[in-house]
Amino acid sequence: MSYLVLVQNGIAQGLIIGLAALSITLVFGIARFPNAAAGDMLTFGGYAGLFAFSATHSLLATGLAAIAATALLSLLMYYAVFRRLAGRSAVSLLVASIGVAFMIRAVLGVSFGHGQLVYEIELTRPYIVGGVRVSPLDLKLALIAFVTLAAAFGVLYMTSIGRQMRAVADNSDLARVSGIRPQRVMASLWLLAGALTAIAGVMLGMKTIVAPEIGWEILLPAFAAAIFGGIGSPIGAVAAGLILGVAQELSTPLVGFTYKIAVSFAVMCAVLVFRPRGLFGKAEAVR
């Protein structure tokens, strides 16, 4: 079997995991808790995109609608729950986010049923490039992912609010005494985290199906990628998602399809043994 095909499949999966991991790592770096609701925010984005897609059949409108709806949900989560718990231990916030996750899933289940929905995209034959079959849909989705990532990194590294977010992530006390308003930073953070999961949700939904559990099931690999990449490191999260995806697919000729997930986790463990702070993480002193 052609290894190029496996790499291509790995990248397609890695991008989805990487986007979700990026959202998790940003929240962890700035709000300082592991956001277990990221998976269900992703599901929400998948549903929002699905309805936009049925109405317009335009990828651009689908992406924008999913971003708008999920960013709004994310902001609502912040104001309704996480802002009130600010300053509590990370465990309280984690538990609260699990609760939020259940609520999102339950509302989606009650509203749209537990059955599967699908993006009614036209199924197209592949391009054949150098003997490798490339699906046009995957190309489009990869493009969307790269644009989203470019935009997210643009916000983080080229705008004032991005600088402020990184400052808070680096040292929140120092940021505060430097005159950075935490409220604004947090609101922007949640909008960005919501937008990223929304695109991951649309990608996953288009490639597979939309059902209330899809996001919950991808949460574990996304968390793994966030830790693997170095918790709090945006580049690391995306790189780790891609590495996990590609390692998993490339292992299949050797170990078969049943154990590929175990292989990707073994790769992660091996790296963490030699580099406990993750690929791109900074060594952090425990206070």
Q: Does 13 bind other proteins (CB under 8 A)?
A: yes
* Total Cβ atoms within 10 A of residue 167: 17
Q: How far is the CB of 270 from other proteins (least distance, A)?
A: 21
Distance CA 68, CA 59 (A): 14
Closer residue to other proteins, CB minimum distance, 18 or 230: 18
Closer residue to other proteins, CB minimum distance, 6 or 167: 6
Query: Which one of residues 111, 124, 160, 183 is an interface residue with other proteins (CB under 8 A)?
Result: 124
Cα dist from 122 to 51, 77, 251, whole Å: 16, 35, 31
Closer residue to other proteins, CB minimum distance, 99 or 115: 115
SS3 content of the chain, % helix, strand, coil (to 5): 75, 5, 25
Q: Does 23 bind other proteins (CB under 8 A)?
A: no
* Token couple for 32: 């300082």
Query: Which one of residues 1, 177, 283, 285 is an interface residue with other proteins (CB under 8 A)?
Result: 1
Between vectors from CA 80 to CA 21 and to CA 85, what angle results, nearest 5°? Answer: 75
Q: Does 83 bind other proteins (CB under 8 A)?
A: no
Q: What does the longest C-alpha to C-alpha distance in the chain come to?
A: 59
Closest CA to 187 of 82, 91, 93, 92: 82
**201, 42 in Cβ contact below 8 A?**
yes
Distance CA 199, CA 205 (A): 10
Query: Which one of residues 114, 163, 181, 184 is an interface residue with other proteins (CB under 8 A)?
Result: 114
Which residues are 117's β-sheet partners? Answer: 210
Q: Torsion angle of alpha carbons 162, 163, 166, 171, nearest 10°? A: -140
Q: Does 123 bind other proteins (CB under 8 A)?
A: yes
The amino acid present at 70, given as its one-letter code, is T
Distance CA 227, CA 244 (A): 12
Closer residue to other proteins, CB minimum distance, 79 or 257: 257
Q: Which stretch binds other proteins (CB under 8 A): 23-31, 107-115, 143-151, 186-194?
A: 107-115
Q: Does 252 bind other proteins (CB under 8 A)?
A: yes
Q: Which stretch binds other proteins (CB under 8 A): 33-41, 44-52, 63-71, 110-118?
A: 110-118
- In the range 189-248, which residues lie near other proteins by CB under 8 A? 204, 207-209, 211, 213-214, 217-218
Q: Does 36 bind other proteins (CB under 8 A)?
A: no
Closer residue to other proteins, CB minimum distance, 193 or 206: 206
* Binding site residues, other proteins, CB under 8 A: 1-2, 5-6, 9, 12-13, 16-17, 109, 113-116, 118, 120, 122-126, 133, 135, 137, 204, 207-209, 211, 213-214, 217-218, 249, 252, 256-258, 260-261
